[in-house]
Amino acid sequence: LRIVLDPGNVSLMKLRKFLNRVKNIKLKGVKNIDRALIRKEEDGYVIYTEGSNITEVLKIKGVDGKKTVTNDIREIYNVLGIEAARNAIIKEITNVLEEQGLEVDQRHIMLLADQMTKNGELSSIGRHGLSGGKSSILAKAAFEVTTTHLFDAGKSGAEDYLGGVTENVIVGQPIPMGTGIVKLVMKPFEKEE
């Protein structure tokens, strides 16, 4: 590709705009994949990429779709669905924990992945995802931006019915589940005459 400009007819501003447009033109490769590293392994060649576009990669002749993987959870969800995304979440969390030398029962990781995908869509774990979706004022305040949640609740006159674990721990009372749900009442003895 060769671009020739007339230096007498182009201003610096036009040149910068032109440069920005040229930077976005893809001459070769796959969109969203910036670099690739080819490695020969026992059963053939493996290409490791920086970036991901599994939809376009699977269209390339010679690519084995059964062996092609990505760690982009959002892309997996969009292309393969929620169950594939759930499995990818489990795999990625397991890999991260193992790299740190941590052993966590797989059921805990599966529970987290189930919570992140329970509505048929991906939910993050931050204040905009699982934690932000809580209805309890104190539970929201315990996670992030504490003062914002408390001020907003105070302005609107919101009430917290202390139905979950976090809010009960905050106020120092038993959690209303398991052994904390039992209420014992003593009936006073009546004197016999």
Q: What's the pLDDT tens digit per position in 156-170?
A: 999 988 888 888 888
Q: How many residues does the chain have?
A: 193
pTM greater than the 0.75 cutoff: no
The predicted model gives 21-29 an average pLDDT of 75
For the chain, domain boundaries: 29-60, 71-123, 137-181
CATH number corresponding to 137-181: 1.10.150.390
Distance of alpha carbon 43 from alpha carbon 62, whole angstroms: 14
Q: Does the pLDDT of residue 120 top 60, yes or no?
A: yes
